[in-house]
Amino acid sequence: MDSSFEALVSLPRIGDEAPHFKAVTTQGPINFPQDYRGNWVILFSHPADFTPVCTSEFMTFASREPEFNALNCKLVGLSIDGLYSHIAWLRTIKEKIEFKGMKNVEVNFPLIEDITMEVAKKYGMIQPGESSTKAVRAVFFVDPKGIIRALIYYPLSMGRNFNELKRALIAMQTADAFDVATPADWQPGDDVIVPPAGSCGLAKERMQCEDEELTCADWFFCTKKLSKEHIAEACEKEITI
């Protein structure tokens, strides 16, 4: 495989330390991920300024930024356009664009200038099958230690589901706080999955229903209740979807 192609699509993996970079943004220079230690971060890319899908996404992220901040999560955007293009686009969003009842929307989180595509290449945001000059809609969840915990990629044509991004964030925080897993279509307040039994003795206890907090369909599949309020208390956050 051509080495230049590999450089474009090389992806950091779940569990890797987030690739380091310094960049100019609409909110000043940043040193990533060092500047965000202690916070979760959603780092996301978009194909280009002054495009309609990207505009709808930035308006949605900006309008919902307080919800993510309440979950100890910062937002950082990126495109390979220049800083002045970013500034002009964000001003246009605030002054002219209305979408789904949102208007006069001001984007306060940083939008990275990446004309050289240095950051986009580090994060595999340029995928030649889609475009060699535009970043796909990538989303990276970075935890407070600077570790990549999840990544989601969307094609250029499809806008992101922001309820799902928030749900994924809460699910990871819940897993960390309670040492549990979250089942398919989980929402805060639904039952969670406890780790499988690690010994024959524990498996027997579970099947004999000796732990009243658990509901076990079999030794490896046990759930327990975990209220939205309990999650919020443990994480010291307001949990809403």
- The reply to whether 54 belongs to the active site is yes
CA 4 to each of CA 24, 81, 138, 224, 225: distance values in angstroms, whole numbers, following the listed order: 25, 21, 20, 49, 50
Whether the bond into 33 is cis, omega within 30 of 0: yes
- The annotation status of 37 as a binding-site residue, yes or no, is no
Cα 112 → chain centroid: 16
Best CA proximity match to 168, nearest among 40, 28, 23: 40
- CA gap 40, 186 in Å, rounded: 20
Side-chain half-sphere CA neighbours of 143 within 13 A: 18
Residues with catalytic function: 54
Q: Known binding site for substrate: residues?
A: 137
Q: Known binding site: residues?
A: 137
